[in-house]
């Protein structure tokens, strides 16, 4: 394989942007399957929620990441971040290729806002090295994000060979582009929408995106296509727009 199709999406715990009582998971699964990405980076993905399962008749019996993967993405990893007595959610990666190993590093800055870096090594057919894929959802406060970015850089410098293919994707909660400048300098990565267009994509709110919160950074790839999935149908699923990119190996 010389090309890789990826998508990142904050799925709002499976609920519609406009109706907190309307589950959007079934429509989300259809949308993901219609796009057909090789890798899916999900944020705010629920692993378990007893009260919601009791309240909604169409709540999946399996974790959201398993329900969404459904025979299309043969492998998946889930990083449980926010945990309460009867529920937990976090980041997930769905993959059409084997995930060789994965780890979820806790980068929480406050007990009320739990965050993690979900790091997977993926065996892509024909590639001499595993793909390193890191799914992030950074904090709401600038000072928290700065510390979490330092943790991200340190992890990559420690564990990812510089010549290995690398993708960092997710919800950076960063509308100032500070994250882009810092990551590009520290890691020699590029942001796919900056490469393909005029800057990071506008991704929030989904119906009429204004803020540039979601990003895809890569190293060892060329960007062939970058796309924001917006419009009424997508906006019914989550409060964020989904971002996708078609990448080819350098």
pLDDT of residue 66: 96
Q: How far apart are CA 244 and CA 193, in angstroms?
A: 10
pLDDT in tens, 18-43: 666 788 999 999 999 999 999 999 99
Contacting residues for 31 by C-beta, under 8 A, at least 6 apart: 229, 233, 234, 237, 242
Q: Would you state the pLDDT for residue 87?
A: 87
Note whether 209 and 241 are within 8 A (CB). Answer: yes
Domain that holds residue 9: 3-249
Dihedral angle of Cα 233, 76, 125, 102, to the nearest 10 degrees:
130
Please list, residue by residue across 193-229, b when 16 or more beta carbons sit within 10 angstroms of its beta carbon and e when fewer do: bbebeeebbbbbbbeebeebbbbbbbbbbebeebbbb
- Across the strands, what pairs with 105? 117
Q: What is the mean pLDDT of residues 196-201?
A: 85
Range 11-15 average pLDDT: 91
Residues β-bridged to residue 90: 45, 80
> What is the pLDDT averaged over residues 236-248?
96
> What is the chain's mean pLDDT, rounded?
93
CATH classification at residue 49: 3.60.10.10
- Stretch 173-184: mean pLDDT, rounded? 89
Nearest C-alpha neighbor of 182 from the set 196, 170, 172: 172
Residue 12 reports pLDDT greater than 80: yes
CA distance 218 to 168: 6
Cα–Cα separations (whole angstroms), residue 219 to 23, 71, 100, 192, 213:
36, 29, 20, 10, 20
pLDDT of residue 200: 87
- Whether 239 contacts 224, CB under 8 Å: no
Sorted by sequence, the CB contacts under 8 Å of residue 224 that are 6+ apart come out as 3, 246, 247, 248
Owner of token pair 């998946």: 76
**Number of domains observed in the structure of the chain:** 1
Lowest mean pLDDT among 12-26, 140-154, 233-247: 12-26
User: Mean pLDDT over residues 40-62, rounded?
Assistant: 89
Residue 20, pLDDT score? 66
pLDDT in the model for residue 26: 93
């Amino acid at each position: 394989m010389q090309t890789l199709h990826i998508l990142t999406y904050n799925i709002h715990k499976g609920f519609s942007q406009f109706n907190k009582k309307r589950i959007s998971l079934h429509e989300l699964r259809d949308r993901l399957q219609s796009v057909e990405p090789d890798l899916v980076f999900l944020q705010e993905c629920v692993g378990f929620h007893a009260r919601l399962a009791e309240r909604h008749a169409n709540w999946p019996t399996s974790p959201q990441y398993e329900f969404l993967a459904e025979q299309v993405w043969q492998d998946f990893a889930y990083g449980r971040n926010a945990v309460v007595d009867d529920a937990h959610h976090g980041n997930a990666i769905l993959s059409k290729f084997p995930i060789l190993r994965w780890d979820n590093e806790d980068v929480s800055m406050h007990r009320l806002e739990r965050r993690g870096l979900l790091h997977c090594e993926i065996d892509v057919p024909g590639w001499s090295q595993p793909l390193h894929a890191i799914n992030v959802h950074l904090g709401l406060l600038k000072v928290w994000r700065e510390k979490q970015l330092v943790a991200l850089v340190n992890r990559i410098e420690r564990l990812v060979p510089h010549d290995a293919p690398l993708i960092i994707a997710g919800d950076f909660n960063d509308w100032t582009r500070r994250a882009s400048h810092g990551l590009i300098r520290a890691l020699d990565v590029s942001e796919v929408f900056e490469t393909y267009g005029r800057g990071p994509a506008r991704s929030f709110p989904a119906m009429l995106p204004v803020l540039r919160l979601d990003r895809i950074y890569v190293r060892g790839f060329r960007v062939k296509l970058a796309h924001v999935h917006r419009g009424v149908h997508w906006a019914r699923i989550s409060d964020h727009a989904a971002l996708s990119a078609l990448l080819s190996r350098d």
